[in-house]
Structure formats: structure tokens, C-alpha cells
Amino acid sequence: MTYDLAGFPGAALNAVPRVELGGLPTPLLPAPRLGEALGLPNLLLKRDDVHPLGVGGNKLCKLEFHLGAALAAGADTVVTFGALQTNHGRQTAAACAKLGLRCELVLTAKVPRSGEAYERSGNLSLDRLFGARVHVCADGEETGRVYDRLIAEAAAEGRTVATVPVGGSDALGTLGYVAATRELAVQLADLGIERARVVAPHASGATSAGITLGSALLGGLGVDIACVSHPLDEATENLAQLVAEGAALLDVAPPALDHVRMSDSTIGPGYGVPTDETWAALRLFGRTEGVVLDPVYTGKVGAALVEWAAQGRFAPAEHVVFVHTGGLPGLYGYAPEFAAAVETGDSLAHLGDARDAQ
Ligand SMILES: *Cc1c(COP(=O)(O)O)cnc(C)c1O
């Protein structure tokens, strides 16, 4: 096969502590109707949103390594951070429930959204459903104070704490997506697909860093990254750092990044603020494939895919793999805007699908 699985540092990767959360490999499926709409006949979706644990999502790949390390260190308590509607927090809560670990989520209102849906529903309700203790903080200063208090409490009670960074993005999280990229390469090879471009998000960074590093080690894969949180300059720096840290853990030299293209053209006003193009991408994926994107991450990557396809970025016969990283519960944090966006869709006859007019 094209992908260099023999040269891949599989032994080094397999030697890193990891806990299986199940559900792998996630499906890799063709998306012919979406592909036709975009002029990309060989479009595939890598469904990392489809997983039996905690409603699924990309953080589970990283958490296999973070929680593997936590268990190896004898931890019984996991603390992590995020925005109110963090998908990472929800997946951490679910994984901790499954493993019998105590989960403390320290959340901050860092997105300019408010209201019942955003502040109480979506991921937040699921965090509590999965038994996590949720600590809502006003700002970074309060976050620091709450974290210090949780550490002191745990010490007083003789508990051992493992701290997972925002979004699970550090060297271990990067390894999660190196492993996921190996999984993807095996699936592509099984389909006889020897080269592909992988479309991925950048927010806290370990997803795209792992795909970048994994692709460099495997060969045959290019990477197109859409920034959804940090602007291009910050994201580029963050990506290079995580790739280097991940490579160091595997004891390989940090690769050149010639196979990577990165853009922040669909980030809009900022993290967590959907644009018209975001909602249009949700409608397009929904109408053509019955697939749900989310307004914070995958909707902006979907908008980037639409833009890149229109610009002719991909060769017509090129295989393009859109990595669906999840986020469905977050959509319900945006329930009023979501409802308005699909009601608009009732009269989208001009988009060319006759059924919209009926
Ligand atoms: C966290 C997240 C991302 C971004 O992944 P990073 O590794 O943080 O860059 C993309 N999509 C969804 C649904 C997420 O929850």
C-alpha cells in the first residue's frame, strides 16, 4: 500500500499508556450527493462524531491517551476546562463515568452567547447527566481560584488528580490524532485509495496537529486545516508546537509541513459565533447527506470546504476526506439561532433542490 505503515513509529505509539474507550474504527463513508453539490466526486466523511460513548466526538481519541496516563498515575479524579458548551468537557465526563473516575469541569463563559439554551442545555445538561461536577466561572481569575480549591480539596481527601488541558490539546492529545490518522490510512488503503487530502479543524489544535504529524509519518496524505478559534498566525504557531511535542514523544524528528495548507477565512467574528456561511454549510450537509454539523466547529470547517471547492483548490478526481469531529449537543446550545436558520431553509428553492420548494 502507499501509506508507510512499516516506517510509521507504531511501536513507540503503542508503548504510550492508553485506555480503550471502544467504538473504533469510526466509519469512513462516501458522501456522493454532497460531493456532487461541491464538484468533488470523491468526497468521503470520516465519522469521528459516531461513537457509542457520550454522543461521540474527536476528544475521545485524545482522551484514550490522557485517561490512559491518568490511570497509569493512579488518578481517581480528573479536572479539565472549557467554554460553557465545551464538547471536550462532555466527552471527558462520559469517559470518566465509564471508567469510574470523578470528573470536575471548570467552565468559563468565554463565548458572547447567553440565554436558557446556551447556559443550561446542550453539553451542560449532558455533563451533569454523566455525573460530572460543573463549576461555572466568570473569568480566568476565578477559573484559577476554583482549580486551586479543587486541588486542595483532593489533597485533603487523599485523592489523586489528573489535569487535562483545554480541549485535550497537548502532546498526548496530539498522539490521539496520530493514532486516528493511522486508522484512517488503513481504511483508505482497504478501499484502494492511495492518496487523499484530509480536511480538519483547528481550535485547541491537537486534532489538526495529530493529523499533520500522522500524515507526515505515513505519506500519501495532504492536510487542509480550517481555523475556527484562533486566527491564522496564532494557529500556525500552535500547530507547529504541538506537532513538535508529539514528534518528541514518539522519538522522531519534527516533520516539514509542506503537505499542510491552513486558512482562517471562515472563522467569522470569532470562536463560537456562527456566520451565515456556517448555517448554510449545516443546511447543505443536512439536505444532501442527512449529516448534522455544529455551529462552532464543523459548520465553519464545512463552510471552508464549500469555499475551497468553489475556488478549485482540489483536483477534480482527488479524494477528499472531511473529518467530522462531532459537536451535535452544542447545536442545542444554539437552539433559537438553529431554529431560525432552518426555517430560512424552507424557502431555499433558489439553491437548486426542487424539493425545497414544495
Ligand atoms: C474540540 C472540537 C474541535 C477542534 O479540535 P481541536 O483539537 O480542539 O483543534 C472540532 N470539532 C469539534 C466538534 C470539537 O468539539
- List pLDDT tens digits, range 72-95: 999 999 999 999 999 999 999 999
| Residue 356 pLDDT > 50 | no
Cα 304 from Cα 201, distance rounded (Å)? 10
What residues does CATH 3.40.50.1100 cover in the chain?
10-56+169-356, 59-168
Higher pLDDT, 351 or 129: 129
Output the pLDDT for position 354.
43
Residue carrying the nine cell digits 486566527: 231
Q: Is the C-beta atom of 327 inside 6 A of ligand 1?
A: yes
pLDDT (mean) for 17-34: 98
b/e for 231-270, b at 16 or more Cβ within 10 A? eeeebbebbbbbbbbbbebbebeebebebbebbbebbbee
- What is the rounded CA–CA span in Å between residue 147 and residue 144? 5
What mean pLDDT value characterizes the chain? 95
Q: Pocket of ligand 1, candidates 58, 164, 225, 236: which has the most ligand atoms within 8 Å of its Cβ, to mutate?
A: 58
- Judged against a pLDDT cut of 70, whether residue 351 lies above it is answered with no
CA 316 and chain centroid, separation: 27
Q: pLDDT above 90 covers what percent of the chain?
A: 92
Average pLDDT over residues 49-59: 98
Query: Does 204 sit in the ligand 1 pocket, CB within 6 Å?
Result: yes
Atom of ligand 1 at shortest range from CA of 204: 8
Cα gap 92→114, rounded to integer Å: 23
Phi then psi dihedrals of residue 164, to 5 deg: -105, 130
Q: Could you tell me the distance, in angstroms and rounded to a whole number, from the CA of residue 86 to the centre of ligand 1?
A: 9
Phi-psi region of 205 (alpha: psi -120 to 50; beta: other; left: phi over 0): left
- Going by pLDDT thresholds of 50, 70 and 90, the confidence category of residue 107 is very high
**Which cell numbers in the block locate residue 320?**
477528499
Ligand 1 midpoint to CA 39 (Å): 26
For residue 358, the model assigns a pLDDT of 34
Query: How far is CA 229 from its chain centroid?
Result: 12
pLDDT interval class at 104 (50, 70, 90): very high
Taking the C-alpha atoms of residue 330 and residue 49, their distance in angstroms, rounded to an integer, is 12
What is the 8-class DSSP label of residue 255? P
247 contacts: CB under 8 Å, gap ≥ 6: 213, 253, 254, 255
User: The sheet that has 196-202: what strands, in order across it?
Assistant: 28-30, 43-47, 320-324, 196-202, 221-227, 260-263
Nearest residue (CA) to ligand 1, atom 1: 167
Cell numbers standing for residue 167: 480541549
Confidence of residue 348 (pLDDT cuts 50, 70, 90): low
**In CATH, what number does 59-168 get?**
3.40.50.1100
Q: Is the pLDDT of residue 119 over 80?
A: yes
- Whether residue 201 has its Cβ less than 6 Å from ligand 1: yes
Output the pLDDT for position 1: 54
- What's the whole-number mean pLDDT along residues 298-313? 98
343, 126 Cβ separation under 8 angstroms: no
Whether 57 is in the pocket of ligand 1, judged by its Cβ within 6 Å, is yes
Question: Atom 4 of ligand 1 has which residue's CA nearest to it?
Answer: 203
Given a cut of 70, whether residue 353 has pLDDT beyond it is no
Beta carbon of 294 within 6 Å of any ligand 1 atom: yes
Instruction: Give the model's confidence band at 347: pLDDT under 50 very low, under 70 low, under 90 confident, else very high.
Output: low
Give the distance (Å) from ligand 1 centre to CA of residue 59.
Answer: 7
Q: Is the CB of 205 under 6 A from ligand 1?
A: yes
Q: Which architecture characterizes domain 10-56+169-356 according to CATH?
A: 3-Layer(aba) Sandwich (3.40)
CA distance 260 to 263: 10
**Which pLDDT tens digit goes with each residue over 191-244?**
999 999 999 999 999 999 999 999 999 999 999 999 999 999 999 999 999 999
- pLDDT confidence bin for 357, thresholds 50/70/90: very low
Q: What is the pLDDT of residue 355?
A: 43
